[in-house]
Amino acid sequence: MRSWDLTRRITKGQPVDPTRKELARQMRKAPTPSERVAWELLRDRRMLGLKFRRQQVNLGFIVDFFCAEHRLVVEVDGSSHEPLEHQARDEERSLILARLDLKIFRIQNKVLNEGELCAVLERELDIRSHPLSLQGEGDGG
């Protein structure tokens, strides 16, 4: 059996439970309204030129959005994340993912908008946006 380097192989080559893979597929087909908004902002490198995947399986966890280049997880939290029991599970999950040098960012769906998401990504990644990066436009080459 091959050894699996957790620090490098977050998306490629990791063993994925077929039931988790199918659940992630179903979640992509039926996103929450907030996940739909976030995906419209993040898809096709529209936000700061970053490539995101949605409903990505990482170590058996399904994360809302994942940018492999910067090892960044973006979670969109709604009212279902408010109970203390759910917050404790979220915290435990975040700690496990953080041990793999992943940056985990949680945004409440009630404050989810393009400006807030862009500001947080810039701060978390210490990058600055190009004026065109928010619209998803290229250099027109």
Task: Examine residue 8 and state whether it is found in any structural domain, yes or no.
Answer: no
CA distance 43 to 115: 16
The answer to whether residue 13 is domain-embedded is no
Number of domains comprising the chain: 1
Collapsed DSSP state (helix, strand, coil) of residue 104: strand
- Domain annotation covers residue 139: no
Residue 9, domain member (yes or no): no
d(CA 43, CA 67) in angstroms, rounded, equals 11
- pLDDT-based confidence at 3, cuts 50/70/90? very low
Kindly state the percentage of the chain with pLDDT values over 70.
Answer: 75
CA angle in degrees (0–180, nearest 5) for 5-8-37? 130
Inside any domain, residue 3: no
Question: Does residue 38 lie within any of the structural domains?
Answer: yes
Q: Would you state the pLDDT for residue 10? A: 57
CATH code, domain with 42: 3.40.960.10
How confident is the model over 46-64, as pLDDT tens digits?
999 999 999 999 888 899 9
Task: Tell me which residue range forms the domain holding 112.
Answer: 18-119
Alpha helices, H only, 15-113: 18-29, 33-42, 84-98
pTM of the predicted structure, to 2 decimals: 0.76
Give ∠ CA 69-71-72 in degrees, rounded to 5: 110
